[in-house]
Structures are given as structure tokens and as C-alpha cells.
Structure 1
Amino acid sequence: MTDERATEPPRPVTAALSGAAAGAAALGVAELAAGALGRASSSPLLAVGAGFIDLTPGWLKDFAIRRFGSDDKTVLLIGLGAGITLAALVIGLLSRRRLSWGLAGLGAFGAVGVVAALTRPIAGPADAAPSVVGALAGMAALTALVRAARPKDTGPGTEVDRRRVLLTGAGVIGVAAAGGVSGRALLRRGDVTSVRADLRLPRPASPARPVPQGAQVRAAGMTPFHTSARDFYRVDTALTLPQVDPRDWTLRIHGMVGRPVELSFDDLLREALVERDITLSCVSNQVGGDLAGNARWLGAPLAPLLRRAGIHSGADQILSRSADGMTLSTPIEAILDGRDAILAVGMNGEPLPIAHGFPARMVVPGLYGYVSATKWVVDLKVTRFATDRAYWTERGYAEKAPIKTFSRIDVPKPLAGVKAGRVAVAGTAWAQHRGVDAVEWQVDDGPWREARLAPVPGLDTWRQWVAEWDAAPGSHTLRCRATDGTGHTQPGHRAPPLPDGATGWHSVVVTVT
């Protein structure tokens, strides 16, 4: 395209809005192209967002999770959208004097999208197409808008044909909206919600133990013993949920094995499934945080599947890969030592929710999720830590991450106001695969007192605790600490989650009136 100058360029507001409209057209057409390919990961917005997540340092990831929780991805996309809008406005202003500057800006954004899409773990050459097509559409839109906004010579003076500007702008916005909506609709073709709804899971060959009476502490505002799928924490890097049809799903077990194994979903359901209550927790969980949940999982034991493949001597890691390319590493000994490590297909009596790994995920009790809980899992490579590094270990997190002994106060809530007299102090503690043997609590700097522990069905679930406090008027600080089945007591020193989980006593300040 030629580099053009206007003796009387468009007004700054008109030029900026032209850039915004051209940027919207570029994104809309790119979404349409991604929808036609059937690959959400090739969308420039999602590809750049995923790349941003990959480049974000661990401390910033932890801050985002701590500040926004499960809404961190929504906040990222909103921020990314705001940044793109601002950049598009600047591109419009650049094109006010020289159209070629604005076109170069759109080309640069297209190049960023191409690089981001092609560097995704499951990318192919076709994933570059949406960014290229979107950039070309944006260039064409910007050219049309800039030309429409240029004053025309009408004899004694010049004037802008406002009708032409409005019609051109409306056309560009229409293309942007139609492309975006159509692209989203095309991507929904692969939605597996109805497939999941129709799936019927077999009964377990080994049912879970009954939950003992009293496992749920009766105190207003207390955490439920079983966490619903809706309330179960979700921490992952997927900006869009992978849609994996169980009819097409396969699991490959390979690497340092004598007999590689490949399972279909039907093969998996024919295994002797077990049902277990297991608490999962995230390494990003802060002291007193809620990035932990307890659910009843149904799945096939992992150890027999690995032994069926024939593990070679010297292997010490399972490098698991999800359908979207995420890799996690798990110590082999944690799967083969007799604990209930499973390839889960069900959660709380239903097929896994899509957000929690449908159709299959790993669940290994006693390890933080980043080394044990691969969602949408499709590949297990038997290997060595010295040979293969997973996503989080490449970013400074520990290779082996046993869950630390943890406790928190659930009621009263922080900064709560309570009436003087008898007050219930209650909370939750966990030390998966070791069990919780004691929880102590403290008022201000007074003596530690032992709380009453609720019964649990096994070592792999969290355990609730409760105590009665004779609360006197004033402001008070409550603290708690747990001791696990090995005799280790939760340390008081506070440490951040990176590299292997936070430590410290949880405390809350309450006002008694």
C-alpha cells in the first residue's frame, strides 16, 4: 500500500476511533478464522494471553491468584483487551499523518499474534493463519476509514463527507461484530457439555469409606466437609477450557517402559475403579487461604497401569501432559508407594466437570496440585527429572512438592464482631497422606489449647476442628497450628508459596462486644 499524506488530516478523535475500529475488525476476523479452524488456541487474543501467562514470573502469578482467585484469567483478558484498545487508538493517531505508520502498527500486532500462536505447545503451521488474516483485515479497514475521513475538495474549501465516514465506520464495526460472534459460535461446535451430561459412569469396584458422623463441624459459616464442584478451586493456565470428547480420548503411557500402553476412555472405564475422598490443595495457597478442596473421586488406580507398561530401572518421574499442552511432573514413588493415586473420571458422584478435567485427570494425594493433578490428561511419559522438566519446575518451583501441614480458622471470620460469652472457634486442617493428629489454638499470646478434632474417613482428607472460647470484650487475635501423623507441627515462620508451598500460623483478629 502507498504511503499517503493529507494536506488536512482527520481530526484526532476521528483518527483514534478509526484505529480502534480497525483493531476490532482485525480481532473479529481473526476469531472467525480461529473458529473455522476449530482451534481456540490460535485466536490472537487467547494466544497472546497464554504467552503472557507463560512469561509471568512466579511471584506475580501468586499475587494474581491471591488477589483475584479463580477470576485471574478474566482479569487478564480484560487487561489485555484494554491494552489492545489503547494500542489501537495510538495506531489510529499514527495513521492521521501517515497511513503507512498505522498499517505497520497493525502488521506488528499480527506478527506478535503469529509468534504467540506458533509457540503454544500443541501449535501447528495453520495456527498462524488467524493472526495473518486478522492483520490484513485490520489494514484494509484502517485504509478505508482513513480515506473516508479525509476532507474532500469542494471548490472554495474542503469538508468531510460525514455520511461516508459513518457508513464506513458502521461497516467496519459490523464486520468486527459478525466475525467475533461467528467465530465464537464455530468454536462452540466442539463443546462437550451434552456429551458429559449423557455419560454414565460405572459403580466402583472399591467404594469410598462412609464419612463418619460428626465429620462436619456444626458451626455457623463452617466450611463443608465435601466441596461442591462449583465451589472447588480452579488454578490452571487455560484461558479457554479444553473440550475433550471422551469418544476421541486416548491415554498414552510410554517412555522408559518395556511395553507402551494406550487406553481409550472405554478401556479406562473397564478398569477396576476405586472411589476415594481426597483433599487437593494448590501450592499457591497462602496461609489461611481457600485454594484447597475435598471431593469424592472415582477413578482407575495409576500404579497398576504403570506396572502394566513395565517401568525401567532408573525412572523417577511421570511427565504428564494435558490436552492443551500443559506438562506436570510427578515423582514415581508417590504413585507406587501404595497411596490412592488415581486417574479420575468422576467427582462427587458425577462425571468430572469440564473445568476440573473432563474426561480424565490425575489425582495423587499428598502432593501439591502442580505435581499431581493434571487435568484433561492425555499422555504419561515415564522418564527422569534429570531428563525432562515440566512447566512449573522450569519456572522455579520444586520438583517434589509434598503438601505441608496446614491449618486455618474458618469461624469467626477475620475482623468479625462477636458477642461476649461462649464463642465457637472452628476451622480446617490438612496433611494429606500423613493425617492430622492434633490442632491447637491460641488467644492473643496466651497458652496453646487443644481443639476437638472431628472424625475423618482416612488420611487423605482434611480434618475439621472446633473449640469453645469464653470471649471477653475487646479486640483479640486468634491463632491455630496443626500437628500431623508423623509428629511434625506446623511452623510459625511465614514463608511465601514459591518454591514449595507457604508456611506459617493462620491468625484472625476479632472484636468482642
Structure 2
Amino acid sequence: MDTSQHASPRTWAVAGLLATLAGLAVGHLVAALTAPRAAPLSALSDTVVAIVPLEVAHWFIDLVGTLDKPLLVIGLAVTVALLGGGIGRLWRTRPWLARAAVVAFAAVGAIAAVTRPGLGAAAAIPSLLAGAVVLVALQWWAARDAERTVTGRRGFLAAVGGVAAAAFGASWWATRIGPAAIEADRDQLVLPEPDAPAMEPGPVADFETEGLSSYITPNGDFYRIDTAITVPRIDVDGWSLRVHGMVDTERTYTMDDLLGRELIERDITLCCVSNQVGGDLVGNARWLGVSLAALLAESGVDPAADQLVSRSSDGWTAGSPTDLVFDGRDAMIAIGMNGQPLPVDHGWPARLVIPGLYGYVSATKWLTELELTTFDSYDAYWITRGWSTPRPIKTQSRIDTPRSKASAGTVAVAGVAWAQHRGISAVELRIDDGDWQPCELSDVATGDTWRQWLYEWNAPEGEHTLTVRATDGDGAVQTSEVQGVIPDGATGLHSVTVTVS
């Protein structure tokens, strides 16, 4: 007869861990089929981002960079799993207290979900269902343990572990391939030819030097910085863009409305205010969309409205100076990127692009609202967190190659420089403590894109320091004064140490 003693505390912890994983997996599957941002870990992560003190958030971002959100989700997942193991141990001796703990944690997840912008009461369902799965699973485990059969316990562990694996796999399938996926809708959108094509930069827009960033950044390589733990997945058929606030007439636009307007195509470089000197949170793309100024003008903008607040589907906001929308620059609502519909990670189905402003005050993805208001009456997301009101993008230059080693002889030193909406008029390179040497510049069509630069260096053996600086289109030389990214972007000159052998 297959009998034994009651399971050990360690085995109960394993049962609690598996039950918790199964509950999370089922919760995430339900969310994937309904509202992915309502998934328990996603909702909890969003809440942590919203409530964590600003100093802690800045410290964590400085420490891990763009890994901040993945590490947050992983950390929460490990924490929840360990708590599940603890609840399993507790159930062994105090089942009612363990049940109360499960209910409490499910309630925390549900409250986190329903309080996220853009989610309603139904967002509580994934977390509540996850808690129900944990309760049922541990009750089942308790029954198996009461029978004192090793076979029954192993069957439970295998069944619950299988449920967890199957549900996580199904949630991945639902969001990437299955009924909750939106890639099929995106793939079906055929972008019209632009009515106003982008100006071609010229025959030497790209030096095609090994290690040098290309003039156009491929979609898959374009940097992504936003607050979204789970990328919004928007059904384009139900999507609309609302224009309201200090306007004569409130208007709403669908994707068909945008596609039926004059479409402009422009090469524009975007840059994150968090980009460190020499960093890679910058990229250049060919955007397709509609003129933001023309669209807003249809609503009749109040001259007193000095701020344009843009909102994403997940509630994130950015505040842009209204006068910069109407000063003639190619501000647009973009629906295409490098000849394709906007990638999901970069704002599908529509995003804002305003040349010359950092992304935190202009480049709203998953765009759903444009509100005309004033800076005195409203502070957007990052302004409430210690960043400055809108400032022009600062002149920056970067050495892409070489970064650490080179062979003696002629070495191509190359990189990119940018000062969006002012342009780059010159780039200079200094080798060790020598004089500044002029660099060759690539062709560009406008001042809204970055510009490649190239210097042929006769490199002698030894260790050398290379430093670059740029001059913008107004004749202002890039400052050497060092400043961090807070509150309005980093300054300083990019240097690399190269060993030549």
C-alpha cells in the first residue's frame, strides 16, 4: 500500500509555489485574451512605478539602464512566488490564515489593475481568478496530503505544474499569434504613398563605415524608452484620436480619417532625455503621417493654449509647447516608420513626432488624445517627477568606431552628431591633447536628422584618447561642461580610449 507520513514543510512550500505559479499563469492567460495590462504582474509593476519615490526610481535607472522594467517584473515574480511558497507552508498548520493571505494578495492585484489608467472594473478579474486557482489548488493538495499517498502528491505536483506551463504558453500564444494578437491587423494595413515624400539627403548620406550607425536606424534596432510594463495592444478598428480642451470644436479621428488626409513623409531623429553622453538612446527614422498643425487647426486652437498635452492609451502624458507645433517644423501624427506601419513597440497605431524636442515632452506612443491647455494648469507625467518643462534638444556627438582597439595605420574614426531642428554644421576630433581637427560630414536634407562624420586617422601604436565635439547650425559649439541627464538632458564631450597595436 502506497502510504507515508504527512508531507514535510518543504514539500508544502513547493506545493504553494506551484499553486501560485499556476494562478499567475491562468491570470495572465485571461488578461492576454482581454486586457494584457491587467495581468497580475503587469498591474503590480505599473503600480510600483507609479508610487516609488522619485529618488529611488532615478537611482535604479542609473544602475541598470533600460533593464529597469524587465528586472522589476522579474523581481516581483520571484517575490510573489516566494510568498506563495510561504503560504504553502502556512497552510500546513494554519489553513484559514493561509486562505486569508491568498485572498489579500489577490485583492492587492485586483486593486492595482483597476486603478491603472485606461482599465475598468473588469481588470480585477485576472488577479481574482489567479487567487481562486491558488485556493483550489492548495485545497486539493491538502486533500492529497490527508490521504498520505506519495502517488497522489506527485500527481498533484505534476498536474499543477502542467497547468502553469500550459497557461503561460497559451498566454504567450494569445498575445503573439492567437486571438489577442494585433500583428495581423497591423500587417493588413497597406500604407499609401506619401503625398509629400521625404527629401532625399544626398548621395553620401551614409559613409557605410564598419561600426558606424547607419543614416536610417532599422525598426528592430530603434531604441525604446517608455513607462509601459506591458506594451498596449490596440485594436485599430476601435481606435480613435480625440482633440479637445481649449478649442472651438472638439473632434475625433479614426485611422481611416488619417489615411484619407494628406500624408507627409519626413526623416526625423528622436532622442531620449535620459541618453547619456555617448549613449545609444537616439535613432533616425523615416516617418509617415499627417501634419499635426493642420489637424489641430481644424478644431480652432485658442491662442491662450500654450501647451499641447498628448495622452497614450495607458494614460501616460507629455506636454509640448503649442507654438512649436505651429512654427513650421514637421510635427506629425505618425502612422508609419521606415516604410512599414508603426511597430507595436513604437506606438501602433499612431504616435506623436515633434522634431527638436526630447521624447519625454513630445513623442507619445499609442496616442489617443490631444488636449489644448496651459502649462500653468497641467503638469505632464515626467514634469511631476522632477524633469524640466520642455527644452530644445542639446547638441551631442558620439564616437561609434573605434571604441577600444585599432591596428596601427589608417583608422576610420566615425560617429554621428545631432542637434535636431538646428542641424549640424561641423564636427571636430581631438586626438590626445592635440588640436581640434575638422571631420568630413555626410549629406543631409534637413536639420531634423543626425549627421554622420568621418576622420581618417594615421594611428601610431600606443594608447590614445579620442574626443569629439560638434557645432550646430546656429554656430554654437557643443559644451564641454558635464551635466547629468536630470533635469533636461546630459551635456559634455564623448571620449574613448583606444589601444593601437
Structure 2 partner of 1:40:
36
> 1:72–1:319: structure 2 CA closer, same or farther, 3 Å change rule?
same
Correspondences of 1:313-328 after superposition (within 5 Å): 313-328=303-318
Asked if residue 121 in structure 1 is aligned to residue 117 in structure 2, the reply is yes
Q: Secondary structure at the match of 1:189?
A: coil
456-465 vs 243-252, which moves further: 243-252
218-227 vs 177-186, which moves further: 177-186
Correspondences of 1:277-296 after superposition (within 5 Å): 277-296=267-286
> In structure 2, what is the Cα distance between the partners aligned to 1:215 and 1:28?
49
Letter in 1 for 2:415: G
Asked if residue 20 in structure 1 is aligned to residue 17 in structure 2, the reply is yes
Instruction: Note the C-alpha offset of 1:302.
Output: 0.5
Structure 2 partner of 1:157:
none
Structure 2 partner of 1:172:
160
Match of 2:332 among 342, 355, 377: 342
Instruction: Note the C-alpha offset of 1:66.
Output: 6.3
Correspondences of 1:119-198 after superposition (within 5 Å): 119-150=115-146, 160-186=148-174, 188-198=178-188
Correspondences of 1:264-279 after superposition (within 5 Å): 264-279=254-269
> 1:117–1:21: structure 2 CA closer, same or farther, 3 Å change rule?
same
Instruction: Note the C-alpha offset of 1:67.
Output: 6.4
Q: Secondary structure at the match of 2:391?
A: coil
Letter in 2 for 1:346: G
Q: Does the 8 Å CA contact 2:401/2:413 hold for their aligned counterparts?
A: yes
> In structure 1, what is the Cα distance between the partners aligned to 2:63 and 2:439?
31
Instruction: Note the C-alpha offset of 1:254.
Output: 0.5
Any unmatched runs of 5+ in structure 1? 1-7, 153-159
> In structure 2, what is the Cα distance between the partners aligned to 1:475 and 1:179?
55
Q: Secondary structure at the match of 1:222?
A: coil
> In structure 2, what is the Cα distance between the partners aligned to 1:181 and 1:475?
51
> In structure 2, what is the Cα distance between the partners aligned to 1:399 and 1:164?
63
444-453 vs 475-484, which moves further: 444-453
> In structure 1, what is the Cα distance between the partners aligned to 2:431 and 2:211?
20
| TM-score after normalising by structure 1 | 0.91
> In structure 1, what is the Cα distance between the partners aligned to 2:6 and 2:322?
67
Asked if residue 235 in structure 1 is aligned to residue 235 in structure 2, the reply is no
> 1:447–1:371: structure 2 CA closer, same or farther, 3 Å change rule?
same
Q: Does the 8 Å CA contact 2:15/2:138 hold for their aligned counterparts?
A: yes
Match of 1:77 among 60, 73, 83: 73
> 1:64–1:299: structure 2 CA closer, same or farther, 3 Å change rule?
farther
Correspondences of 1:430-449 after superposition (within 5 Å): 430-449=418-437
> In structure 2, what is the Cα distance between the partners aligned to 1:511 and 1:10?
62
Letter in 2 for 1:13: R
Correspondences of 1:449-468 after superposition (within 5 Å): 449-468=437-456
> In structure 2, what is the Cα distance between the partners aligned to 1:174 and 1:313?
62
Q: Does the 8 Å CA contact 2:336/2:342 hold for their aligned counterparts?
A: yes
CA RMSD, Structure 1 to Structure 2 (Å): 2.1
Instruction: Note the C-alpha offset of 1:185.
Output: 4.7
Structure 1 partner of 2:389:
399
> In structure 2, what is the Cα distance between the partners aligned to 1:63 and 1:461?
31
Match of 2:209 among 200, 214, 219: 219
Question: Deviation per CA, 1:229-275, whole angstroms, max 9, x where unpaired?
Answer: 01111111223322223322211100000011111111111211111
Question: Deviation per CA, 1:408-450, whole angstroms, max 9, x where unpaired?
Answer: 111111xx22122222211110000011122122122222222
> In structure 1, what is the Cα distance between the partners aligned to 2:67 and 2:188?
29
Any unmatched runs of 5+ in structure 2? none
- Report the count of equivalent residues: 495
Q: Does the 8 Å CA contact 2:174/2:181 hold for their aligned counterparts?
A: no
Structure 1 partner of 2:85:
89
Structure 2 partner of 1:4:
none
Letter in 2 for 1:443: I
> In structure 2, what is the Cα distance between the partners aligned to 1:68 and 1:228?
24
Percent identity of the aligned residues? 46
Asked if residue 378 in structure 1 is aligned to residue 368 in structure 2, the reply is yes
> In structure 1, what is the Cα distance between the partners aligned to 2:6 and 2:492?
62
Q: Secondary structure at the match of 1:468?
A: strand
> 1:460–1:66: structure 2 CA closer, same or farther, 3 Å change rule?
farther
Instruction: Note the C-alpha offset of 1:94.
Output: 2.6
Q: Secondary structure at the match of 2:214?
A: coil
Q: Secondary structure at the match of 1:309?
A: coil
Structure 2 partner of 1:204:
194
